[in-house]
Each structure stands twice: as structure tokens, then as C-alpha cells.
Chain A
């Protein structure tokens, strides 16, 4: 079983603060890294899929970077808003195993108004 770790486990920030969290994954046999946002009582929703070392993706105030050589990805949220409150999951996709994902435990973000 592959080890995908996310830190911190939970985070409370004030509205307007910027924040970031980490996903660590095996650097060997890397194929893709996925970020998902999971709001309470909803389905997980895809944010980004990243495949190349050095990839940077952005969607509004949320961005992500990827370092496949050292096995980590950062997710950044600029100017956090209460609607950003959710659990953020990363999922590591290995090569040659089709679409099987290995998920981290998630980072739970609470933005305090």
C-alpha cells in the first residue's frame, strides 16, 4: 500500500488569510497528482490534475505546484473565504496501473469569518 501523506491534518484561518498545505507521495513511478475539494455533505470535486515536474495550476484564488523529483505538491489559497472551508484531498496516480488512485487523509480547512 502506497503512503500518501497530507499536512497539516486540519487548519483554522481567519477570512482573508492566505494558507497552504502539503501532499507528499512516492517519487518513483509517478504518473499524476490530483487535488480534490470535499465540502461537507457534498461529493469530492476535482480541482487540479498535475503531471509534469514543475507544473503550476491555478483556479481563481487557488493554485498548486508539483515537484515529482522530491515527491510533494503544495496547494495554496490566497485570501481565504468562508466558502473555501472544506477538506482538501490529494490523490497519487501510479504509472501502468490504470486509473487507480491512492488518497491522502486530507487537510480540513475552516475559514473563520
Chain B
């Protein structure tokens, strides 16, 4: 089955620790995205990547880092510099290029930092 997997579903960390969220896709999509959802807010873009070894900051990149070493994988690291890391994180992928391509989403990871 083609799709996007995110693991784990729930993640708990102590304040001051970095944590990496996994995102893998087998849809052969070039573009991948990380969003964050907070109560009462729309999905906000953290980082996106349009091709392997390249990525761009979204609207709320501070305190996050990403890598794109393989087409299938786009892990997100939440660093200790992120002031409010507790949130729901969604990964997505899409075809790339000029066009109105829909984004396909994973099931999300809920991160709780105490």
C-alpha cells in the first residue's frame, strides 16, 4: 500500500532534550512537508523540501531542523531551542512542479514535552 507513515504516534520528552520525528513515504513524491497543529490554529508549515538534499524554512522554522538525504524520508528534529514544542505534528508529501498538486498526509505524531 502506498502512503505516508509517521512514528511514533505519541512521543513524550523532557524539556531540554532534542527529539526526532520520523516521516517516510513510498508514493515516489519529490516534495515533503512538516506542519504543526495547535488548538484553535490552522496547520502551520515548519519546513518543506522539494528535492533530495534541499529544503526551505516555512513560517515557523525556529527551533526545528530537518534533513532530506533520501527521497522517501524527511525527519524533523525538535530542538531544545523550540520554546513551545508540545503540539501535533503532521508530515505530508506531494508531486512537485508547477501545478495544483494535492498533499497526502501521514497520521501525525503528538509530542508532549514536560
Contacts and interface: CB of A to CB of B under 8 A. Distances in A.
B63 interface: no
A54 to B, nearest CB: 16
Contacts, number: 59
B45 A101 contact: yes
A89 B94 CA distance: 17
B106 to A, nearest CB: 6
Contacts of A104: 42
Question: Which bracket fits the contact residues of A?
Answer: 20 to 34
A43 B108 contact: yes
A93 B100 contact: yes
A106 B96 CA distance: 25
A94 to B, nearest CB: 11
A37 to B, nearest CB: 11
B89 interface: no
B107 A34 contact: no
B45 A98 contact: no
Interface in A60-104: 89, 91, 93, 98-104
Contacts of B35: 103
Contacts of A105: 40-42
Contacts of B33: 99
B103 interface: yes
Interface in B77-103: 90, 94, 96, 100-103
B48 to A, nearest CB: 7
Interface of B: 4, 31, 33, 35, 40-45, 48, 50, 58-59, 90, 94, 96, 100-108
Interface of A: 1, 4, 31-32, 34, 41-46, 49, 51, 89, 91, 93, 98-106
